[in-house]
Structure 1
Amino acid sequence: MAGSGGPLSRSGLRGREAELDVLRALIDSVARTGGGALAVLRGEPGIGKTTLLTEAVTRARAAGFSVGLGKADELHHLVPLSSLATCVLHGDRPLLSGEALIDLTRRHDQRIWLVERLAEAIEERAGGTPLLIALDDVQWADPLSRFALKQLPGRLRTSPVLWLLAERQGVDGPTQEIVAAVADELPVRTLSLGPLSGAAIGQLADDTLGAAVGERVRELLAGAGGNPFLAVEMLAGLRTSDVSDEPVPPGLVVGVRGRLGSLHPDTLRFLQMGAVLGRRFGFQDAAALCGRPSVALLPALEEAVRAGLLDDDGDRLVFRHDLLRQAVYVDVPPSARKVLHREAAGRLVAAGHQPIDVVSHILRGAQPGDEEAVALLRRAAADVLPVTPGLAADLLQRALDLVPPARPLWFAVGEQAIVSLTRAGRNREALATGDRLLAYRPPMETFGRLHAALGGTLWNLDLADELRRRTEAALAVGGAAPEVEARLAGLRALALSRAQDLAPAREAGEEALRAAVATGDREAHVQALFALGETALNAGENALALERFTALSAVDPAFFPEEIVAYQHMDDFVTSGRLLARAADESGGIREAMLLWAQGQQHLELGRLDDAEADFVTMERLEEEVQAHVQQVNGRVIRSRIALLRGDREAARQHLAEARKRLAVKPNPGNTAAVRFLEAVHAEADGDAGRAVDRVRQVQREGPFLRWRLLRTWVGTAIRVALRGADRALAEDLAAQAEAHAARNPTVPTATGLAARARGLVSDDLPLLERSVALLGESPRPLVRAAASADFGRALLAAGRRDEAVAALTGAQDAFTAAGAHAVAAHVQRDLRRAGAGGRRTGDGQRPVQGWQALTASEKKVARLIAEGHSNRAAAELLVVSPHTVNTHLTSAFRKLSVNSRVQLANLVMALPDE
């Protein structure tokens, strides 16, 4: 091989000097800077992608890289992580053992979690040596590998990892999405390989035949169209030919088919069976499809290997190029292909292969009415549902097409499809599938099961009234199994939790819980506890909500975040913090985005605005990645509020605009109320009191449960809006709500303190405002305490008690400044000036845009830990946050510091003066 920096005219790489230079530069850059990069090779089959990729691998190894080299396979493109596994399991030092990879894919049901663990393994290896991860034929990558490839390059951009992907042109591959996901985060080069020039093809001929190349041969080579693989295949037959005596040498084959025509019929038949099985196949499997003993086909195998069509890697037979396999495959009549694929599926399963391994054969060969194929598709869907629910849904919809409508099996497959579609976030499709099944008037027991399956779908679509109507109809029809009726009862109670009168919801939830316990059905138990938790939360009964959600998370750990948030509503941030730390050590199974929501709420309420912002940014990114848009509106609403507290009006307006956009996609009552309240806050900041009070009125009309959820800690802001808008009745109503909420939560200091503050504001009652400060002294929420102190200080100032006013206002200003709420601190400073006290200068609260001082306190902590050599996970454990949040902090720090790798970061941090 040509060493690094050596000549680039190696045989087989003629005409690719420019592309090799680009790849060599990327290899050198990754090794030198310690940052990541991505290269994509695109072109038609045979154009030289694999040869170029192989040369890059050789050069990277020579430069000291550890290499993971893999190849995706067309007939395994549905097996979760099979494509990327070929990269991480093979190479000079495999990144993971086979057992470790199986453990990752089988034990955990979170794609995000799985990708993070892969990232940690790669990051750890890259800490000692640069890595090249190369995947050929990425157009055949399985869905989970595609998902990982969109996340990993960006996640590992600060480590010396070069990603090299080769994709066939003209096929719907993932590289465009992968490039788009990282375009702004790391260097990306896309190399589109066109036909070789005539001169380059001529050089290939000279390399192969030397002086024997004549004009006639060169004319024939022009038929290769600049495709080096076809040219080399033509030239292969000329090595032993006497080209001077024959006008057209007999060994020359123009195209692959002509070459195959010289094979023995048994060899061709054997190759055809292998082509049906895929590019890599087992000798015994191909022999079985031929209907011959393996020993009888040894001559055929030997001839195929001698002809350069197959390689033997010791475990499997491999077509030397996919063009060879395709040329063999297309000569099999289409009707025969279907039969052979179906037979292949049966034989492979009988030989011990998993259903998902043979799904590609089933999809190509199954005919309507094939119940065995349907059973295999259902088993495969169940296996992949935890990590690739979208694939599971696709497999089940195909299975549904194979079963005649209205048969018991059709309804059973349909029910499974509804669940998978819902898990995949394809709720509209799930509802349409359910309605199609119900239109065939299924038996009563099936009728109930289908409506129970549609419960989660309707809840996700925010169709609470429709959920109630359907569950009540199914319960009225009767005939369902006891466990199904218990699930329906739990879903009905959940729908009722969104009603104005919550008494029926409580009663329905208790009945559903009794039925669930009696039947022992876990799903019914989860539904009933969730319904009771939601009802208690909507009623503002925090202690009861905590009891319900604690019981729920014990039954189903996926609801752990709800338990954490329930502790926060009780002002028990010590316990919620401990649970958040525990969640970081859980072995998967917890909804990552919802856990980040809980983490963000923890930071927000404890006055850590920078950390809260990072959590909500990360949550939104994770929801986008898995296409589960649950908290997108609320996340943007809170980020806008944080920006207003900081004094960043432009960012606040941008977040409001994004919240409105997301509201248009998911216009449920809760999202609508949240955006309307945010609009009120913005209108107040703009001095538009009329518009502000109008928006608060709209929130009030949305229903009691929305008020408790939305105004729990923001009621003071709402009351000030009402008073400034001269709507005393609205202010009185808001204060009454706060008092009712406090009566339901007498042990929660925030609730009792806010009630006193609300009434004190409405009544302009100085003793009540003083009492609110005293009550909130027990609250762990510094921003709430500061707001009450500011109100009390202003009231003292109005009463002429200047010294006390200055003390209260100074305390409020200090608390707001410590939290980074500089806009509110500046407002309090103006009050202090009115009192004749200058107050502490707060500045505008704006950090520099670039440089170390532009980093938040948390970003500085993360930067120092990473510079010391900690991994993202190790830094997360030390800071008691999610590794995803560490990644968000690190991304921001790298941007502000204009560095591209951990090495550059370490050098910068080492040069900083001690703080």
Structure 2
Amino acid sequence: MRARELAAVAELLDRAGTGERATLLIDGEPGTGKTTFLARAAERAATRGFGLAAGGAEELDRLIPLNPLLSAFDDLPGESDPAPESLEGRVERLRTHMEKRMAAGPLLVTLDDLQWADPATLMAVRTLHCRLSSRPLAWLLARSTGGRDHDAERLFDLLERQGARRVTLGPLPEDAVARVIADTLRARPDRGLLDFASGAGGNPFLLAELVDGLRDEGAIEIAGGRARLVSPVLPQRVRVLVRRRLDRLSRETRHLVEAAAVLGRSFSPGDVAELLGANPATLLPALEEALEAGLLAAAGDVLTFRHELVWRAVLAGLPRPLRLALRHQAERLPEPSRSAGRLRPAARDVEDPRADRGEPDGDDGVGVITRLGRVSAERLNASLASSLRVAAALRRGDLRAALSGAPGDRSPRPAVPACPAADEVIRAVTAARVIEAGEGAGPAMEHLAGADVYSALGRHPWVLAVEPGCAAWLVRLALRTGDRARAELVGAALDRLPADVLDDEAAHARGLLDDDPRALALAAQRAADPWSRASAEEDLGVLLCRTGDRTAGIESLNRALAGYEEAGATRDTARLRHRLRQEGVRHRHWSYADRPVTGWDSLTDTEHAVSLLVAQGWTNRQVAEQMFISVHTVAFHLRQIFRKLDIRSRVELTRLAVEHTTGPHPASG
């Protein structure tokens, strides 16, 4: 592995041993194994009697002059003169120390990550390189390409003109990738695993993160000395790695990269400019930064994500509603701006592993989006907005707001032969969630069955991306009402989506369908937001308790409770506390706040929730069922409310509730 580059190291050591100027410059994009290569070179030098001095720069080293060199020579004697030493004096002290080291034998100096080195370090390397040119000294200098390290690049250019050899560490070839995977897993990878790993583009660091992540998340099965990929989804550690790279970019560049990901792995600057509503010329600084960061590369007339895994991770990191909206918008781009049919089919083939199976257009993800594009934009956007408002209201336990935000017609409809439109499916699911909250699972399923929602998912699987938890909720509702056939339709709809879309949702739904704790644990680990993680943890806890592993089940339920509390999901928190009480686990959950003694602002969160439900005409029993507490507890809270508000009837409570919960929305100004 890296035989050509290691041969260059051997030549370097030979030259240094004879007193010739010996310098090897290593270029490579981030993650190509420069640090590992320097370490192997140092091992070879040590076997040949070389002394070693290994240092490197870090991102904050620009603030500390000469720190990379000083870290390499940690045996450098301290200053003898108490007066502050000049920069030239410190470089001269380094030169003297290096000559003393070389008096005992040849010396190899390795300096890594010089793209982060301060100007003084680069100047010192140039100076020492000249002054010690006739000594038994080998220099091995490395830097990451793709950044804005123009000073380091100029140094490398200068040293190359002076005779230094320059080597670029490229991607690993396929056979080397297979050996890396085999060494990591101690098993030979099968074709499916190799194909998936090819998305790392031969980048050693990205490849290692991928394989370690797949192994840690149980996505690889090892048997009989063979490693088989059983779950082709991006590990969380790869997503985190890519998110960190995006976070180093400017805001404008990050937005450009995220928007470009929706267009496919390859795209034209004109397409992304159209998607962002910008003039292509204004995007030049952001495109330049993305290219220099190594995220994008030029490929003829188009730009492409340098690594497929990075593209998939960027796409998966977008919030689902935003991803759906951007895909919908991308499919409506004017035909002339699309880099024409060259890009769209190519993007589809990469996105959807089923695209080469001869399925007719309209059965893959892009075809679904095309049909969504035929829906009135106003109707679709209104349905999406309504769904998100209702979901937020239900989570915080505000049924009144959920009722007002849900579609007006919630009466069941007879099944119709024609599949309903996408916005009608979204509206029906939104209404059903409100019906379940107020009336139970049975009436909610009647509404969905009347609207033919489960059958419509085969035609409109993208509606499952409307909000986190939609797919799992539909499966859970069908199973709760004894309708496994409809639950399976959700799983089938998820299977029609591209592999990079809703992968944690698919794991959650499949875990519910198959009573599979591993799938539920995977969903809980990978979900992008606290509420989704908590939802999967809750289902995992319920399954474990039901199947006899009560200790692990309670642990999952407790993690779910913490997640719901973090997400501010009041209703889910109350429901889960009730479930834990049934398991014999009680949590102290009251809190102290600086509230007035009387008046509306004196009410606790629980009293406030009770007040809103009572003001909507709910009986004590209905309030108890909604808040997962006893009727006696509701009565206790009502007495406290009446006392704090100095009222005597529900009519007065309703009047006060209306006064304090109506009026302009804060965002409306």
Q: Name the TM-score, length of structure 2 as normaliser.
A: 0.36
Q: Name the TM-score, length of structure 1 as normaliser.
A: 0.28
Q: Going by fraction, where is helix more abundant, 1 or 2?
A: 1
